[in-house]
Structure 1
Amino acid sequence: MAKATQKQALGRGLSALLKDPDNDIKSASDKNADKVVGNIVELDIDAIEVNPFQPRSNFNDEALQELASSIRELGVIQPITVRKIDFNQFQLVSGERRYRASKLVGLDTIPAYIRIANDQESLEMALVENIQRQDLDPIEIALSYQRLIDEINLTQEKLSDRVGKKRSTITNYLRLLRLDPIIQTGIRDGFLSMGHGRAIVNIEKKSDQIALYEKIVGQGLSVRDTEAAVKAYHNSKNGTTVPTTQKTIEVPKFAKKSQDILKEYLSTTIDIKSSEKGKGKITIPFGSKEELKRLQKLITGE
């Protein structure tokens, strides 16, 4: 406990040093730079701006509120990382969720590691550090890889060394960007997996990609089913239809009527498979925890 208090006091002392115009640190060779760069400093949260190079574009509101509650109780356990861009002005390199949650709680300061970097270095740091996170979706990772290639001028081989991933892994992510934007959104929203996307991308025509995507969501096709459907697509005579591994079963009229009613009531895709005798199953896909809770409330009232 004494060590934590000592560290916090040190952070506040370094914060005061950064606010002294006579000790403005602009490079790692400046006086007192060694006391600040690479150390944890308590920074005014209003002195920090969001990183325009941040690869994450989706922030789950519920998860952000949960993080805010944790910060309210325990404080910011893991410091954010910033770069100094001007006198007492900083820019996020990583930790935007912690930064956003801290602002929600109303914190005046936040612990931060300080680095000095130019725009290109900041972009690379932000992208590489964020790629290592476990909660980025496949499309966010693919976009980050593409930005490192385009804006940092890295080859896939150099990128492989920089992020510690096999070149084939990077290639598989990048290929997802050849999918129709509707399907990319489906992956980001959790309607299908990266494995589905890797199979669909082997279909060049975007309209046929979407046709298969709709079948995957509507019929609940597995990755293996999807791979088989893509193979059948390429084996078809004219290459314009998208057959699937499942036989098309005509939905009885009574089930079709119920399907239409449920679809309208729940405002989502409903798939019903039923025999004439009335035995069958209902599939209701969802793309997020929020969507599942919405459906649960409509169905159960809770």
Structure 2
Amino acid sequence: MRLLPKKGIFDSGRVLFLPVDSILPNPDQPRTLFSQPELEELADSIQSMGILQPLTVRRREGGWELVAGERRLRAAKLAGLREVPCLSIQTDGQSSSLLALVENLQRRDLDFWEEALALRKLIDTYHISQDEAARRLGKSQSAVANKLRLLKLDPAVLTILREGGCTERHARALLRLEDPAQQREAARQVTERSLTVAQTESMVEAMLSSPSSGPKKKPTFIVKDVRLFLNTISRSLDLMRSAGVNACCRREDTDEEILLTIHIPRRAT
């Protein structure tokens, strides 16, 4: 038995041929989308050439658990194989999750959403820091942090972008929009109009620069001295009298209010 260059992982050093039905799926498999045409293409290749790279498994109660090779296993079943070559390792759950993630990252099998989710699950489940996750994956801490920021997007936005075949840079551009409704509208525009990343960034900039579409608030005036109103009324009455209108005002002050009674001759109206 030899130690692989990964902490806590031991290789048995031999290839096993295991029944496909005895291999349990990896609960920490980060990949969630598998293209059926690509699986069928791989199945055709397996029928012609066989499986060139063994799957990686670990022994579990009641059988074997897949560590890496989900796509090959699915294609092998499509090809009608009853057994598949496997490399048995001894590893803990954390190392198994890490191997599954690393394999998919190296093969670029994950989209940006799956990768962000896998990173978040790895960090939360095993209580490791972003720095530690970055070190184990051979990435920079900033790359991990930027990937995790994508999880701030509204889930509906990510669904729109993924189904529309958009890139991670499209998603990053929408992060500038804090309103989920704006994010969804922008995502629809990106997919319906097939916008480039540069066009998406320009659209987001325009949305941020435009005034709010909501109802405008009426200005609120704060008057600290009621004498401003009284002086205005007095000047208005003076203006009417100078124009020949015999207008007058009677004022009564009480403890609760100031009562003004204005008299204007009807013939002047």
Q: What is the deviation of 1:36?
A: 7.0
What is the distance in 2 between the residues matched to 1:181 and 1:47? 35
RMSD: 2.2
Counterpart of 2:147 in structure 1 is 173
Q: What is the deviation of 1:149?
A: 1.0
Letter in 1 for 2:51: V
Q: What is the deviation of 1:235?
A: 2.5
**Native 8 Å contact 1:36 1:114 kept in 2:** yes
List aligned pairs for 1:54-69, cutoff 5 A. Answer: 54-69=29-44
1:92 is matched with which residue: 66, 82, 86? 66
**Native 8 Å contact 1:84 1:117 kept in 2:** no
Helix, strand or coil at the partner of 2:132 = helix
Per-residue CA deviations over 1:74-97 (Å, capped at 9, x if unaligned) read 11111110011136x210001011
Counterpart of 2:49 in structure 1 is 74
Q: Which runs of 4+ in 1 moved over 4 A?
A: none
1:237 is matched with which residue: 196, 207, 211? 211
What is the distance in 2 between the residues matched to 1:172 and 1:224? 19
Q: What is the deviation of 1:54?
A: 0.6
Per-residue CA deviations over 1:29-51 (Å, capped at 9, x if unaligned) read xxxxxx97143222222221111
Helix, strand or coil at the partner of 1:132 = helix
What is the distance in 1 between the residues matched to 2:127 and 2:66? 22
Rg larger in 1 or in 2?
2
What is the distance in 1 between the residues matched to 2:89 and 2:181? 47
Helix, strand or coil at the partner of 2:107 = coil
Q: Return 165-174 or 61-70, whichever deviates more.
A: 165-174
**Native 8 Å contact 1:233 1:239 kept in 2:** no
What is the distance in 2 between the residues matched to 1:60 and 1:191? 13
Counterpart of 2:58 in structure 1 is 83
Helix, strand or coil at the partner of 2:113 = helix
Q: What is the deviation of 1:127?
A: 2.3
**Native 8 Å contact 2:154 2:180 kept in 1:** yes
1:221 is matched with which residue: 191, 195, 199? 195
Q: What is the deviation of 1:239?
A: 7.6
1:201 is matched with which residue: 131, 150, 175? 175
2:17 is matched with which residue: 29, 32, 42? 42
1:58–1:131 distance in 2 versus 1, CA, 3 Å: same
What is the distance in 1 between the residues matched to 2:122 and 2:29? 12
Q: Which runs of 5+ in 1 are unaligned?
A: 1-27, 29-34, 241-302
What is the distance in 2 between the residues matched to 1:72 and 1:203? 49
Paired residues in the alignment total 207
1:98–1:206 distance in 2 versus 1, CA, 3 Å: same
Per-residue CA deviations over 1:122-154 (Å, capped at 9, x if unaligned) read 223222332322121111111111111111212
Helix, strand or coil at the partner of 2:46 = helix
> Whose strand fraction is larger, Structure 1's or Structure 2's?
2
1:102–1:212 distance in 2 versus 1, CA, 3 Å: same
Select the structure with the greater relative contact order (CA < 8 A; seq sep ≥ 6): 2
Letter in 2 for 1:151: T
**Native 8 Å contact 1:67 1:101 kept in 2:** yes
What is the distance in 1 between the residues matched to 2:181 and 2:13? 51
Helix, strand or coil at the partner of 2:27 = coil
Give the share of equivalent positions with the same residue, in percent: 39
1:115–1:232 distance in 2 versus 1, CA, 3 Å: same
Compute the TM-score of the two structures, normalised by the length of structure 2.
0.71
Per-residue CA deviations over 1:79-118 (Å, capped at 9, x if unaligned) read 110011136x210001011111111222121111101123
Compute the TM-score of the two structures, normalised by the length of structure 1.
0.63
Letter in 2 for 1:39: R
Counterpart of 1:118 in structure 2 is 92
